[in-house]
Amino acid sequence: MTLRPKKMQLLQWFPDAVVSTRASGAEQALYLTFDDGPNPSHTPALLELLGRHGVKATFFLIGREAERYPQLVERIVEEGHVLGNHSYSHPMFDALTLTEQWIEVERTDQVLSNFDGRTHHGFRPPRGVFSLLLTLRFAFSRRKLSYWSYDTLDYQGREPDELAARLRASPPRAGDVMLMHDDSDCSLRMLEQLIPEWKQHGFTFRSLPA
Ligand SMILES: [Zn+2]
């Protein structure tokens, strides 16, 4: 089980203006990111935890779910977190044409702009699947694919205690963008343990630049 997969190393060779994997490490910043929400069963408790610790994060939302749970999206924005685009319906991107992929991106930007007033949002493709063509389409539009540099593996159905132990053994570094999800309580249960420890180690927590 590796928390820094080879693919991430590959992605780091793209110009940062096209594909970002890490962010500024100033002030020992870590960037918590949550994919696949908003989720009425899990997002509220996570927001409470983040609020209690004064942690700002980034939520890569599925457009269809944002439409379904608008009050949750409003709360995410009101509490100072940043919205990211995680497609409209979370399809396998390699099963879609480039046009279909682009529609998924733009439709979600429109949904999210109703909440935060921004026309564009950093885009993270479902399951991290992307093609060179899509990357070029983003570059052509002067837009950015937003990846991660640290995969917490919170989607593998493992026990949060086991995952937290793995993260302690292979700790994040300043500037790491950390992949998590808010469609289960795994990230919440890991972070209840880890946020206080990371704070003790001098880390701060920021949203990705909008
Ligand atoms: Zn996803």
* pLDDT > 60? residue 1: no
Residues in the chain: 210
Q: Does the residue 166 lie in any domain?
A: yes
Beta strands in the chain (DSSP E): 19-20, 29-35, 58-61, 82-85, 145-146, 150-151, 177-181, 204-205
Q: Are 175 and 32 in contact (CB under 8 A)?
A: no
Q: Does the residue 189 lie in any domain?
A: yes
Q: Does the residue 148 lie in any domain?
A: yes
Q: Does the residue 3 lie in any domain?
A: no
Backbone angles phi, psi at 30, to 5 degrees: -115, 150
Q: How far is the CA of 104 from the centre of ligand 1 (A)?
A: 13
Q: Does the residue 37 lie in any domain?
A: yes
More confident residue, 9 or 172: 172
Work out the angle at residue 153's Cα, subtended by the Cα atoms of residues 150 and 159, and round it to the nearest 5 degrees. 135
Q: Does the residue 6 lie in any domain?
A: no
Q: How confident is the model at residue 17 (pLDDT cuts 50, 70, 90)?
A: confident
Residue among 109, 181, 182, 183 flagged as catalytic: 181
Q: Does the residue 133 lie in any domain?
A: yes
d(CA 33, CA 83): 10
Res 187: pLDDT: 96
Res 132: pLDDT: 87
Res 50: pLDDT: 98
Domain that holds residue 198: 24-205
Q: How confident is the model at residue 101 (pLDDT cuts 50, 70, 90)?
A: very high
Q: How far is the CA of 24 from the centre of ligand 1 (A)?
A: 24
d(CA 124, CA 20): 10
Task: Classify 183 as helix, strand or coil.
Answer: coil
> Is 181 known to be catalytic?
yes
Bridge partner list, 123: 85, 145
Please provide the DSSP assignment of 37-82 as one string.
---TTTHHHHHHHHHHTT---EEEE-HHHHHH-HHHHHHHHHTT-E
Distances (CA, A) of 93 to 7, 41, 190: 17, 27, 29
Per-residue pLDDT of 152-204, as tens digits, reads: 999 999 999 999 999 999 999 999 999 999 999 999 999 999 999 999 999 99
More confident residue, 106 or 13: 106
Number of domains in the chain: 1
> Is 35 known to be catalytic?
yes
d(CA 150, CA 163): 13
Angle between helix 160-169 and 186-200 (nearest 10): 30
Q: How far is the CA of 135 from the centre of ligand 1 (A)?
A: 18
Q: What is the mean pLDDT of residues 119-146?
A: 92
Per-residue pLDDT of 36-69, as tens digits, reads: 999 999 999 999 999 999 999 999 999 999 999 9
CATH of the domain at 116: 3.20.20.370
Res 5: pLDDT: 63
Q: Does the residue 150 lie in any domain?
A: yes
Q: How far is the CA of 91 from the centre of ligand 1 (A)?
A: 9
Q: Are 108 and 102 in contact (CB under 8 A)?
A: no
